[in-house]
Amino acid sequence: MKIDWKPGTLIYPLPAVMVTVGSEPSEYNILTISWTGTVCSDPPMCYISVRPERHSYGILKKNMEFVINLTTEELARAADWSGVRSGKKYDKFRELNLTPIPAHTVRAPYIDQSPLCIECRVKEIHSLGTHDMFLAEVVNILADEKYIDAETGKFDIEKARLLVYSHGNYYGTGKHIGKFGWSVKKKKL
């Protein structure tokens, strides 16, 4: 039996990502976000939603560029720490021993320890209530080659052990179950 639950944000799990902002080292910052996702495949577009009172909000709005850095189980502590500490008080890169590297297409840095870094350029900002949504075009992706499957050329999620977020908790991703269309694929006789 199902019960009525108050309306809320229950599309879980979500990726737990570290977003990097800033156009030069003195303003580089990291913020942890779970309100992120894909919105279009051609052109490739995604979004992040950020509270206006966050320290990174002004940096993001000024530069209109950011990098989504996927996190792993190994980066779980860094993802959590950067989500609860403010860049006003801490140099998060230094505190977390993470390496900022200038991105290839946008001015924001990427996190060298991240397995996949998605360079984004903001196209629109939408005020939605508690958060503003930054709708962005994906302009480049930087992938750690150790997670690229040599046979398929695809990013190996299972090998990367990506981190996801649900109801205030972090989880690792599970094992591969099947690929798109596997449930209807005809068996060879």
* pLDDT value of residue 9: 77
Read off φ and ψ for residue 92, nearest 5 degrees.
-65, -35
Query: Does 18 map to a domain?
Result: yes
Q: What CATH number should be reported for the domain holding residue 129?
A: 2.30.110.10
* pLDDT value of residue 82: 95
Share of the chain above pLDDT 90, in %: 81
Query: Does 157 map to a domain?
Result: yes
Query: Does 38 map to a domain?
Result: yes
Would you say residue 58 has pLDDT above 70?
yes
Query: Does 24 map to a domain?
Result: yes
Average pLDDT over residues 99-108: 98
* pLDDT value of residue 175: 82
* pLDDT value of residue 7: 82
What whole-number distance in Å separates Cα of residue 137 and Cα of residue 66?
10
* Residues ≥6 apart with Cβ < 8 Å to 110: 20, 67, 69, 100, 101, 103, 117, 119, 142
* pLDDT per residue as tens digits for the range 64-88: 999 999 999 999 999 999 999 999 9
* pLDDT value of residue 5: 84
Query: Does 89 map to a domain?
Result: yes
* pLDDT per residue as tens digits for the range 132-189: 999 999 999 999 999 999 999 999 988 999 999 998 899 998 887 888 888 887 777 6
Query: Does 181 map to a domain?
Result: no
Q: What is the mean pLDDT of the chain?
A: 93
Average pLDDT over residues 20-47: 96
Report how many domains make up the chain.
1
* pLDDT value of residue 61: 97
Would you say residue 24 has pLDDT above 90?
yes
* pLDDT value of residue 27: 96
Query: Does 183 map to a domain?
Result: no
Which segments of 89-149 are extended strands (E)? 100-102, 109-111, 116-127, 132-143
Q: Which domain holds residue 65?
A: 14-172
Would you say residue 50 has pLDDT above 90?
yes
* pLDDT value of residue 15: 93
Query: Does 77 map to a domain?
Result: yes
What whole-number distance in Å separates Cα of residue 2 and Cα of residue 93?
45
- Asked whether 119 and 104 are in contact (CB, 8 A), the reply is yes
